[in-house]
Every structure is written in C-alpha cells, then in structure tokens.
C-alpha cells in the first residue's frame, strides 16, 4: 500500500512551484487567445430553432440542415460576397475557411462541413466566426467573436495555493482493450462517448481511490491520460460539475504487473472544463465512478 500523499521527490518544492506557476500562465494565456473558449457568443442547435433553419446574429444569411449536411446561404442582397456586421450597418466579406486555412469568398449557397469531419470549416464575417459542430447526431452553429464579454471581462482563474502534498504517485492499470464509455454532458439531452483505457489507483488522506482514465493521446512518445473527476468541493469552492486532470504514464513500463505503470497525479493542475467559463460548451461530465471521496483542495477554483 502506498504511503499517504506519496510525493514525487525528483524536484524540490521551489522548482515544482515554479513549474506550476509557468503552467498557470500558459493555461490562462491559452484561454485568452482571440478564438478560444472565452470568445464564444452563441451555440444554436438547428433542430431546436423552429425546425432545421437558423439565422445567426452578425452573419447575413441562413443556415439549413438538409440530408445530414449544413448549408449556408447568404442573403440575396449580399451574394456578391458582402455581408452586414453585427451592428447591421457596415459590410463585411463573407468567407468560407476550411481546415487547412484556405479561404474562399461566399457568393452563393455553400456546404459547411462539421467538426466531425476531416475538413471542419467555418464562415467568417469580419471578426465573427461561425462553425458547425456535430454532437450525438445533432448539428449546431458555434459562434466566436474576440469581443465576447467572457473574453473581455476575464480576470483570471482563482486557484488553491500550490501544495506539494497533492502531487500524488499512483498506479495506472490499463484495460486489455479500450472501452467506449458513454457519459453525460452539460447539455441535458446530449451524451458523449469517451475511450476509457484503464484505471488509476492512488491513496490520499489514508483512503484508497480509483478513477477511470480516458485516452489523452500520445505526446513525445509517452501515453497521456485524461481524467474527469468529482470531489466534495464541487459546488462550494470548485466548479459544480467537476474538474479535468491530465496525467502522463511513466515511460519505463516493463510489461510486468499486467502492464501497470507509475503515474503522477498532480492535482495542483486540476483545471475547470470550458463550460465553467461559457454556457455554449458541451463538456463531458465525470462518470459516477470517478468521485474522489475526500475534498481535493488543490487546482482551479470557481
């Protein structure tokens, strides 16, 4: 059994704190990029807006869902490639931008591939961008604007102070095969399917914990884990729907112990999901099994 709050000792606390502060800066800078999560100004589900058509403020034209594809048709008066801005009094070029960044003027009806395809695209009108998202077989239009009040008024993320005791050494136990796991999301009618690849076991405050780990991809040849968890601080000092945590599996796994390997869980880097900053997100929620039974007084607050 692991020692309570087993900590990684390869760096002293001052270096760990400096690394954490650098991560905090990068985290907030990432949120504040012009078209990041804070720039969202709307999410319009086509099936919910009087059928399968929608008109989005700031972009002169109509969106239509037909036969599993979304079409955008500019207003007849602006089919020459000009559209009105959000104030309706200044013209802005309507442009289709694809996944490669290639740009084409919109002079008539165009198909706008969703983010579920390899060529997810967006319509641009001035600084406003509208992209098609596909979730659970439904299509929505996600709108971003660097002048979003969420971005304009962002004043940083409150956090718990760095605590080296919350850098916990755990054990990752991979599944023989990955398992598609259906979880709820912040949208009541929507679910999300994540690829669970194993479980992480660790101990804190004398209590053993177990969390399902999802596939976080491979970075620099090392397996990354993505964990969604809840704990008793949710709805009090932290975001009510839980938080996210990324972790890296030790690269020296030798295949023994059923392929299990060490993993560092640094809860100082537990972070809020995008839906903590914007109502226009479809964040996955933690499965019921992913509840840490003691308060995790580390990471981002709300």
Segments forming the whole domain that contains residue 216: 13-32+156-276
Confidence of residue 3 (pLDDT cuts 50, 70, 90): very low
User: Do 160 and 147 lie in a common domain?
Assistant: no
pLDDT value at residue 78: 46
User: Do 75 and 22 lie in a common domain?
Assistant: no
User: Do 83 and 109 lie in a common domain?
Assistant: yes
Residue 254 has pLDDT above 50, yes or no: no
Do 181 and 212 contact (CB within 8 A), yes or no? yes
pLDDT value at residue 102: 97
| Residues 259-268: tens digit of each pLDDT | 789 999 999 9
Residue 76 has pLDDT above 80, yes or no: no
Residue 236 has pLDDT above 70, yes or no: yes
Residue 177 has pLDDT above 50, yes or no: yes
Segment (H or E) for 108: none
User: Do 136 and 172 lie in a common domain?
Assistant: no
* Lowest-confidence pick of 50-59, 101-110, 130-139, 258-267: 50-59
Confidence of residue 77 (pLDDT cuts 50, 70, 90): low
**Helices and strands in the chain: count of H runs, count of E runs:** 2, 17
Give the mean pLDDT of the chain: 89
pLDDT value at residue 54: 86
In total, how many domains does the chain have? 2
pLDDT value at residue 259: 75
* Lowest-confidence pick of 81-85, 97-101, 141-145, 218-222: 81-85
pLDDT value at residue 84: 45
User: Do 196 and 268 lie in a common domain?
Assistant: yes
What is the mean pLDDT of the segment spanning 271-284? 96
pLDDT value at residue 251: 65
Residue 229 has pLDDT above 90, yes or no: yes
* Lowest-confidence pick of 67-81, 109-123, 249-263: 249-263
pLDDT value at residue 21: 97
Two structure tokens written together for 46: 């086509």
Q: Is residue 302 part of a domain?
A: no
What is the mean pLDDT of the segment spanning 50-57? 79
Q: Is residue 296 part of a domain?
A: no
What is the mean pLDDT of the segment spanning 106-120? 95
* Lowest-confidence pick of 38-42, 75-79, 198-202, 296-300: 75-79
Pick the more confident residue, 120 or 11: 120
User: Do 185 and 229 lie in a common domain?
Assistant: yes
Q: Is residue 101 part of a domain?
A: yes
Q: Quickly tell me which residue has 């914007």 as its tokens.
A: 278
The four Cα atoms 225, 228, 133, 99 give a dihedral, to 10 degrees, of -30
Pick the more confident residue, 8 or 124: 124
- Scored b (16 or more CB within 10 A) or e, 75-93 reads eeebbeebbbbbeeeeebe
User: Do 186 and 234 lie in a common domain?
Assistant: yes
- How far is Cα 282 from Cα 285, in angstroms, rounded to an integer? 9
Distances (CA, A) of 246 to 2, 16, 262, 293: 21, 16, 14, 19
- How far is Cα 28 from Cα 243, in angstroms, rounded to an integer? 16
Do 215 and 249 contact (CB within 8 A), yes or no? no
User: Do 173 and 112 lie in a common domain?
Assistant: no
Q: Is residue 72 part of a domain?
A: yes
């Amino acid at each position: 059994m692991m020692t309570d709050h087993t900590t990684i000792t390869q760096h002293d606390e001052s270096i760990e704190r400096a690394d954490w502060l650098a991560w905090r800066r990068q985290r907030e800078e990432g949120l504040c990029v012009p078209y990041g999560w804070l720039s969202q100004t709307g999410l319009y589900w086509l099936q919910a807006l009087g059928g399968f058509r929608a008109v989005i403020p700031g972009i002169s034209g109509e969106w239509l869902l037909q036969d599993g594809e979304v079409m955008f048709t500019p207003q007849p008066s602006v089919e020459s490639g000009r559209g009105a801005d959000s104030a309706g009094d200044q013209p802005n070029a309507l442009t289709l931008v694809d996944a490669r960044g290639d740009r084409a003027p919109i002079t008539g009806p165009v198909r706008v591939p969703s983010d579920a395809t390899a060529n997810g695209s967006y319509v641009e009108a001035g600084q406003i961008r509208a992209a098609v998202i596909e979730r659970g077989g439904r299509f929505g239009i996600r709108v971003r604007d660097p002048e979003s009040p969420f971005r304009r008024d962002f004043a940083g993320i409150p956090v718990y102070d760095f605590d080296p005791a919350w850098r916990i050494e755990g054990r990752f136990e991979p599944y023989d095969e990955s398992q598609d796991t259906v979880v709820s999301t912040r949208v009541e009618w929507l679910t999300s399917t994540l690829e669970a690849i194993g479980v992480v076991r660790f101990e804190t405050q004398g209590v053993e914990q177990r969390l399902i780990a999802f596939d976080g991809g491979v970075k620099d040849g090392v397996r990354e884990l993505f964990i969604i968890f809840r704990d008793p601080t949710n709805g009090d000092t932290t975001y009510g729907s839980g938080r996210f945590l990324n972790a890296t599996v030790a690269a020296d796994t030798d295949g023994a112990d059923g392929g299990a390997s060490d993993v560092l869980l640094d809860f100082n880097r537990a972070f809020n999901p995008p839906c903590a900053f914007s109502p226009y997100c479809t964040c996955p929620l933690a499965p019921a099994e992913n509840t840490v039974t003691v308060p995790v007084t580390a990471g981002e607050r709300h």
